[in-house]
Chain A
Amino acid sequence: MSDGDSKNRGQLKVYLGYAAGVGKTYQMLEDAHELKQKGFDAVIGYLEPHGRKDTIARAEGLELIPRRKAEYRGSTFEEMDLEAILRRKPQVCVVDELPHTNIPDSSHTKRWEDVLALLDAGIDVMTTMNIQHLESLNDQVWQMTGVRVRETIPDWVMKQADEVVMVDLTPRALLNRLERGVVYPPEKAERALQNFFKESTLVALRELALRQTAHEVEIRQVTLPDSALVDTFPTNFPPAADRAPSGGNDRILVHLTEDPSTAMLIRRGKRVADYLQAECFAVYVHTEPDLASLPAGRRVAIERHLTFARNLHLETHVLQGADIVDTLMDFARLHRVTQIFMVRPQYSRWHGFLATNLVHRIVGEARDMQVTIVAERRRERQS
């Protein structure tokens, strides 16, 4: 980590795992101790030890900023005290569990927003998260686990990290720890074994985390200065030049509708755009004179999708035109779009005809643009 005084913005380091109990917090505390020993002013802003003895012991010797107590609906909650940390102004701050949602009276809705505030104040932050909380993997994780993760981290926040480290433990070892009661108390362990902690699920999540970490390492390489050796990479390892933002000419348009699977479409389109280092637009076209004249239900759905797209840092556009396809294609040509993403039509008898027609017309008129029809991911029963 850099010395916090020498630059304006703090550095962010993410300890990425694939399940509770792999040792993210423990390793983060180890590193914090190491920094402290080197003379850095490292403190704990928030720690969630889950009653784990090893973790609690590892926190000893590090200054702990007291949590803020807040009343909400008759209960007392403890949250990270952002103001207190900002006043204390350490060089390095440990903030456990990045995806946490703050209680409603807090200055930010999400802990990751608190973390961005700390970085803005020039404080280096070390934090932890599990792969299943990454927004763009939400549908895939749901398919694997049957759990729709609600507390998500937008991918652009992850991109802010200067360093992402994978904290690895084999699923077998993790299951052993769970059985020995290291991770959760028995009744909670029982429940955990039902979904996230099935061995096949753990193996799959682990693979996702490994691939994501590899991706994070790769995109950070691009910003390093050029070197002659990158030209000699074999074909299965694209040279850095080909991975540079300037190298990709893709521009992706995500066609928003009120269809409930639009959230998935946005995640999918944005993920592909991120991997191709492409620009990504989210476009809604309506034929009514203005948005306000849409039926309330549709308007609410559209506005929700637009907000979601903006939160994921897509450039959103609301267009008005007599013909949806003409208007969309005009926009696409004007913005030199190379790929259009749209939802798979619902193949119901009546409604389906119009939707199918839309796909047909867009494919028919796309000419040199690729059209991706994104299918809703379904969950299959596993034995």
Chain B
Amino acid sequence: MATDRTADTFDRRPDPEQLLRQLDAQERQLIHEHLKVFLGYASGVGKSFRMLDEGRRRRERGQDVVVGAVQWNMPPELERLIQSMEVIPLKKVGGGETMDVEAILGRRPQVCLVDGAAYDNPPGSRNPKRWQDITELVSNGIVVITSLNLQHIEERRDIVKQITGKQATQTVPESFLYAANEIVIVDVPPELLLERAGGPDAGDAALADTQRQLSALRELALLLTAEVVDKQLEDYLLAHGIDQRWGTQERILVCLTPGSNAEAIVASGKRNADRFHGEFFVVYVRHPQLPEKDEPGLQRHLEAAQQAGAHVDALDGDDPVEALMDFARTHRITQIFVGHRRKNHWWYRLVGGPIDRLIRAAEGIDVRVFPH
């Protein structure tokens, strides 16, 4: 919902576009073979451990693994893990340090572990940001396994600030996550995290507040991972030419018809999409016979829907029900919301009992009728 990627991912025009998307998806799958991200919702969830542990296991299976960067203040159990590995030292640039991309490229390992993807490199470095260093390693055929905290994702900074009051300065664009072929969420309950951090005593008001913040961050991180996974699923299906209509998340389609109680239906669609953290679409079927006087009202509703975060579209078709079902199927819609008026309106005369036809046509999709 929060990203606008769906606007361009979904396209209802068929063949050539479909084919291009398929090729794109195949290409993405190849590139991303080489990037794996451990995502956490806060520091201390154990991302670094999971990352280094994977490095250790890969090494035991005979892969050539090096450590490209580690964070300073490392806990003892991580120190122990790293001791057995080859570490490429950070390079001094200006007053700071940066991952030594040249050295790693020269060393050419199979796998490079990079603890913490969100670092600004000191001025004079090869790339301004560490995630760009990582991208460079990946495009040179090195598998990079890295760790990242939710708060460092550029597009999520505002909402994280609203939850915690703090804003991270060093960031990674969300597209970096979408570019990873593997993303793993490191999920632990907030209580455990607080315990590890040795926070305030139980019962403390500050503790309850921290706990609430952490659980809000945790929900965000889970949903973000679900979105990335959803995109991967789409890529996979596209790349393999699988036409699959069932959805893994709720996708609600509101169909605005002239004279329906649009406001109530859009509000309900929005509420349902929010509760399910699903996708929200609002469409309107254009028809040459639409009376002029209905147009301004519709425009207003469509704009309001867009503001509410809906993907808005106008559909063309001689048969409104067919146009709607076409859209619903391409977008893997799970629920269609539609208004119904008993009054004899052109829409109903035209399509001849549209609700009945819609219900008949909507195989595998729920139809929610809003009487008016």
**Residues of A bordering B, CB below 8 Å:** 13, 140, 143-144, 163, 165-170, 172-173, 199-200, 203-204, 206-208, 210-211, 213-215, 217-218, 220-221, 224-225, 227, 229, 232-238, 243, 268, 272, 275-276, 339, 344-345, 347, 356, 359-360, 363-364, 366-378, 380, 382-383
Structural contact, A217 and B219, CB atoms closer than 8 A: yes
B159 within 8 A of A: yes
Q: Given A200-B236, A214-B226, decide whether A236 and B364 contact each other with a Cβ distance below 8 A.
A: no
Report Cα–Cα, A378/B244, bound state, in Å: 12
- A-facing residues in B320-372 (Cβ within 8 Å): 335, 340, 342, 355-356, 359-360, 362-371
Report Cα–Cα, A172/B241, bound state, in Å: 19
B36 within 8 A of A: yes
Structural contact, B371 and A225, CB atoms closer than 8 A: no
Report Cα–Cα, A372/B371, bound state, in Å: 11
Report Cα–Cα, A117/B218, bound state, in Å: 30
Report Cα–Cα, A234/B188, bound state, in Å: 25
* In the A-B complex, the 7 residue pairs with the closest CB atoms: A214-B222, A210-B226, A170-B182, A143-B246, A166-B187, A207-B248, A372-B368
**Which of B65-73, B99-107, B204-212 interfaces with chain A?**
B204-212
Question: Which of A165, A213, A225 neighbours the largest number of chain B CB atoms within 10 Å of its CB?
Answer: A213
Q: Could you say which residues of chain B place their CB within 8 Å of the CB of A211?
A: 222-223, 226, 248-249, 277
Beyond A227-B212, A371-B368, 10 additional pairs, beta carbon < 8 A: A207-B226, A211-B248, A221-B219, A345-B359, A356-B356, A364-B371, A367-B371, A373-B359, A373-B369, A382-B242
Could you show 11 A-B contacts with beta carbons less than 8 Å apart? A140-B248, A165-B189, A200-B237, A207-B229, A221-B219, A235-B274, A237-B159, A268-B366, A345-B359, A368-B371, A370-B268
Structural contact, B163 and A229, CB atoms closer than 8 A: yes
B225 within 8 A of A: yes
Q: Could you say which residues of chain A place their CB within 8 Å of the CB of B272?
A: 272, 275-276
Closest to A213 in B: B222
Q: Could you say which residues of chain B place their CB within 8 Å of the CB of A140?
A: 246, 248
Q: Given A199-B236, A268-B366, A363-B371, decide whether A172 and B215 contact each other with a Cβ distance below 8 A.
A: no
Q: Could you say which residues of chain A place their CB within 8 Å of the CB of B243?
A: 380
Q: Could you say which residues of chain A place their CB within 8 Å of the CB of B314?
A: none
Inter-chain contact total with CB atoms closer than 8 Å? 177
Q: Given A204-B233, A218-B219, A232-B162, decide whether A224 and B212 contact each other with a Cβ distance below 8 A.
A: yes
Shortest CB-to-CB span from A5 to chain B, Å, is: 16
B1 within 8 A of A: yes
Closest to B183 in A: A170
Structural contact, A168 and B226, CB atoms closer than 8 A: no
Q: Could you say which residues of chain B place their CB within 8 Å of the CB of A233?
A: 159, 162
Report Cα–Cα, A13/B192, bound state, in Å: 12
Closest to B187 in A: A166
Structural contact, A221 and B212, CB atoms closer than 8 A: yes
Structural contact, A375 and B246, CB atoms closer than 8 A: no
Structural contact, B209 and A363, CB atoms closer than 8 A: no
- A-facing residues in B232-279 (Cβ within 8 Å): 232-233, 236-237, 240-246, 248-249, 268, 271-272, 274-277
B230 within 8 A of A: yes
Structural contact, B371 and A371, CB atoms closer than 8 A: yes
Structural contact, A221 and B233, CB atoms closer than 8 A: no
Report Cα–Cα, A235/B280, bound state, in Å: 13
Structural contact, B159 and A234, CB atoms closer than 8 A: yes
Shortest CB-to-CB span from B78 to chain A, Å, is: 16
Question: Which of B163, B249, B359 neighbours the largest number of chain A CB atoms within 10 Å of its CB?
Answer: B359
Structural contact, A229 and B249, CB atoms closer than 8 A: no
B109 within 8 A of A: no
Structural contact, B2 and A217, CB atoms closer than 8 A: no
Q: Given A211-B249, A214-B226, A382-B244, decide whether A225 and B366 contact each other with a Cβ distance below 8 A.
A: no
- Checking A143, A214, A232, A359 against B359 with a beta-carbon cut-off of 8 angstroms, the contacting residue is A359
Report Cα–Cα, A166/B163, bound state, in Å: 22
Q: Could you say which residues of chain A place their CB within 8 Å of the CB of B165?
A: 229
Q: Given A203-B233, A221-B212, A375-B366, decide whether A214 and B223 contact each other with a Cβ distance below 8 A.
A: yes
Report Cα–Cα, A279/B118, bound state, in Å: 45
Q: Could you say which residues of chain B place their CB within 8 Å of the CB of A368?
A: 371
Structural contact, B246 and A224, CB atoms closer than 8 A: no
Question: Which of B188, B246, B272 neighbours the largest number of chain A CB atoms within 10 Å of its CB?
Answer: B246
Q: Given A356-B356, A370-B268, decide whether A380 and B159 contact each other with a Cβ distance below 8 A.
A: no
Shortest CB-to-CB span from A85 to chain B, Å, is: 24
B25 within 8 A of A: no
Shortest CB-to-CB span from A333 to chain B, Å, is: 14
B309 within 8 A of A: yes
Report Cα–Cα, A217/B225, bound state, in Å: 14
Report Cα–Cα, A359/B242, bound state, in Å: 35
Structural contact, A224 and B226, CB atoms closer than 8 A: no
Report Cα–Cα, A360/B355, bound state, in Å: 9
Report Cα–Cα, A383/B236, bound state, in Å: 12
Closest to A243 in B: B275
Shortest CB-to-CB span from A275 to chain B, Å, is: 5
B18 within 8 A of A: no
Report Cα–Cα, A232/B162, bound state, in Å: 7
Structural contact, A173 and B182, CB atoms closer than 8 A: yes
Report Cα–Cα, A203/B209, bound state, in Å: 34
B216 within 8 A of A: yes
- Checking B36, B233, B237, B369 against A363 with a beta-carbon cut-off of 8 angstroms, the contacting residue is B369
Shortest CB-to-CB span from B106 to chain A, Å, is: 29
